């Protein structure tokens, strides 16, 4: 038998994307094209109070597709948010979803759309094996996505992340039809994003691209997209953080976020495995948490990714080896005032065994370049608590 790697995989690429400043004016037309006559706009409480939401409702009304708003969504959404959204959807006789916001609103919106016509509990559709086949595809509402952050790339994804409050675990809920039918990426919608959220979400986009690039699975197209996404982050995230009104920087970061979500079809890894339990238990911001764990995971994986990061350093023009990539990540964290340790995030050291078990069971662990079980997760948690690289 050949000792060559098995060059096989299942690949898919994103949906229709309308990209550019001012494109949000097309929201009513897009609804009509998708057969949505009474959309439910799902967003978060912070966005619900901003002028962009009544402006969107006015656009919908003018197009003859009147909508309503649901915004009972936590920063790390839980099933109770999905259930409340379902009630709003049904009581308002809606026929489609507009997922408007960052990762939390997108995740909740997509799961509301999934559950509209299902009889099973949401946890039956966790991204394990072929669970998604248990869902009735005809019972999934059509989705239009409007991102207002540049991090998760959830607008081009086929899953939503929901926290199971009974176990304090984040569950990835998956179905191919959760991929929005149309995405409207309008850089004007992210101009008002605060500098810290711009930085944290941008580091999330970097984490997606970096982990996808390092994943051992075969997906050369995804790997190439990941590299270009990291170049955009390198060149434009610092500018977007310093000057949120720079529409060029905002546009490139919107692209980088979507590219990261496309690329991570290739796989994620221990950055996300460590981050998910911390976010579920301590309610930390996902992008910020990823940024904290990033250098510790790189250090742990060094032997397996040294050659790849040497190539990456040269492609990005930041040096010629692993240390140059690691130092770039550390410099970005310092520039954005991101904590160096997990302890600074509020992680309780007494719960590290519990967190390690959760991290080892997280579905993203399987994409790490080297095996990571409870022992290895605890090793990285210990390093992150002490700040030791």
Q: Are residues 381 and 236 in the same domain?
A: yes
pLDDT, tens only, 108-149:
999 999 999 999 999 999 998 899 999 999 999 999 999 999
Domain hosting 264: range is: 195-386
Residue 7 lies in a domain: no
Mean pLDDT of 339-355: 97
Question: Is the domain of 61 the same as that of 205?
Answer: no
Over residues 195-221, mean pLDDT: 96
Give the CATH number for residue 105.
3.40.50.1970
Q: What DSSP line would sit under 233-279, residue for residue?
A: HHHHHHHHHH-TT-HHHHHHHHHHHHHHHHHGGG---HHHHHHHHHH
In-domain check, residue 160: yes
- Per-residue confidence (pLDDT) for residue 8, from 0 to 100: 63
The pLDDT-based confidence of 169 (bands split at 50, 70, 90) is confident
Average pLDDT of the residues in 29-51: 95
Percent of the chain with pLDDT strictly greater than 70: 97
**In degrees rounded to 5, what are phi and psi of residue 338?**
-90, 135
Model pLDDT, residue 387: 97
Neighbours of 330 (CB within 10 A): 16
- Are 183 and 199 in a shared domain? no
8 in a structural domain: no
How confident is the prediction for the chain on average, in pLDDT?
A: 94
Chain-centroid distance, C-alpha 28? 26
Query: 211 and 346: one domain?
Result: yes
pLDDT band at 103 (very low <50, low <70, confident <90, very high): confident
Half-sphere exposure of 186 (CA within 13 A, CB side): 18
What is the mean predicted confidence (pLDDT) over 169-187?
Answer: 93
Whether the pLDDT of residue 3 is over 70: the answer is no
Q: Supply the pLDDT for residue 192.
A: 87
Confidence of residue 75 (pLDDT cuts 50, 70, 90): confident
**Which CATH number does the domain housing residue 218 bear?**
1.20.1090.10
| Cβ–Cβ under 8 Å, residues 145 and 155 | yes
pLDDT for the residue numbered 92: 97
Burial group, residue 178, by CB count within 10 angstroms (0-12, 13-18, 19+): buried
Instruction: Give the pLDDT of residue 323.
Output: 98
End of a domain among 128, 160, 190? 190
**Considering 143, 167, 190, which residue would you say is the last residue of a domain?**
190
Same structural domain for residues 182 and 49? yes
Answer for the pair 316, 352: CB distance below 8 angstroms, yes or no. no
Please give the Cα distance from 305 to 301 (Å, whole number): 6
Asked whether residue 215 falls in the same domain as residue 184, the answer is no
Does one domain contain both 88 and 179? yes
Domain count, the chain: 2
Residues 178 and 206 in one domain: no
Residue at which a domain ends, from 190, 218, 237: 190
What is the pLDDT at residue 1?
A: 41
On whether residue 6 sits in a domain, the answer given is no
Same domain for 279 and 326, yes or no, is: yes
Q: Note whether residue 152 is domain-resident.
A: yes
Confidence at 2, pLDDT banded by 50, 70, 90: very low
Residue 92 lies in a domain: yes
Residue 307 lies in a domain: yes
> Is 129 among the domain residues?
yes
CA separation for the pair 257, 154 (Å, rounded): 9
User: Between 13 and 248, whose confidence is greater?
Assistant: 248
Compute how many other C-beta atoms are within 10 angstroms of the C-beta atom of residue 5.
9
* pTM of the shown model: 0.91
DSSP letter (8 states) at residue 129 = T
Are residues 99 and 35 part of one domain? yes
Dist. CA 200–CA 293, nearest whole Å: 13
Q: Do 55 and 181 share a structural domain?
A: yes
Tell whether 252 and 378 lie within a shared domain: yes
- For residues 342 and 385, the answer to whether their CB atoms sit within 8 Å is yes
């Amino acid at each position: 038998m050949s000792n060559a790697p098995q060059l096989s995989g299942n690949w898919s690429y994103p949906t229709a994307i309308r990209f550019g400043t001012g494109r949000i004016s097309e929201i009513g037309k897009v609804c009509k094209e998708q057969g949505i006559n009474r959309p439910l706009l799902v967003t978060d409480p912070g966005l619900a109070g901003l002028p962009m939401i009544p402006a969107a409702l006015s656009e919908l009304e003018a197009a003859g597709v009147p909508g309503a708003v649901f915004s009972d969504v936590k920063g790390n959404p839980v099933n109770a948010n999905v259930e409340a959204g379902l009630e709003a959807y049904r009581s308002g006789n809606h026929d489609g979803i507009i997922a408007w916001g960052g990762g939390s609103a997108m995740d909740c919106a997509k799961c509301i759309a999934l559950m509209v016509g299902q009889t099973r509990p949401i946890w039956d559709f966790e991204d394990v094996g072929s669970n998604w086949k248990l869902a009735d595809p005809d019972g999934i509402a059509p989705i239009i996505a409007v991102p207002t952050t540049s991090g998760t790339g959830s607008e081009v994804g086929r899953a939503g992340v929901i926290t199971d409050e009974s176990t304090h675990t984040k569950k990835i809920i998956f179905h191919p039809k959760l991929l929005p039918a149309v995405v409207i990426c309008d850089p004007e919608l992210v101009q008002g994003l605060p500098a810290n959220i711009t930085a944290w979400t941008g580091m999330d986009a970097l984490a997606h691209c970096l982990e996808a690039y390092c994943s051992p699975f075969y997906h050369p197209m995804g790997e190439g997209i990941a590299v270009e996404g990291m170049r955009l982050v390198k060149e434009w995230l610092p500018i977007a953080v310093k000057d949120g009104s720079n529409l060029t920087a905002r546009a490139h970061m919107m692209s980088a976020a979507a590219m990261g979500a496309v690329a991570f079809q290739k796989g994620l890894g221990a950055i996300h495995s460590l981050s998910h339990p911390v976010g579920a238990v301590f309610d930390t911001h996902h992008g910020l948490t990823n940024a904290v764990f990033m250098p510790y995971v790189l250090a742990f994986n060094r032997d397996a990714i040294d050659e790849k990061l040497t190539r990456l350093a040269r492609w990005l023009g930041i040096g010629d080896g692993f240390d140059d990539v690691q130092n770039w990540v550390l410099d970005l964290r310092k520039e954005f005032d991101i904590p160096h340790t997990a302890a600074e995030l509020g992680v309780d050291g007494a719960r590290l065994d519990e967190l390690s078990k959760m991290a080892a069971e997280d579905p993203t662990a399987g994409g790490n370049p080297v095996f990571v079980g409870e022992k290895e997760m605890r090793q990285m948690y210990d390093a992150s608590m002490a700040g030791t690289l």
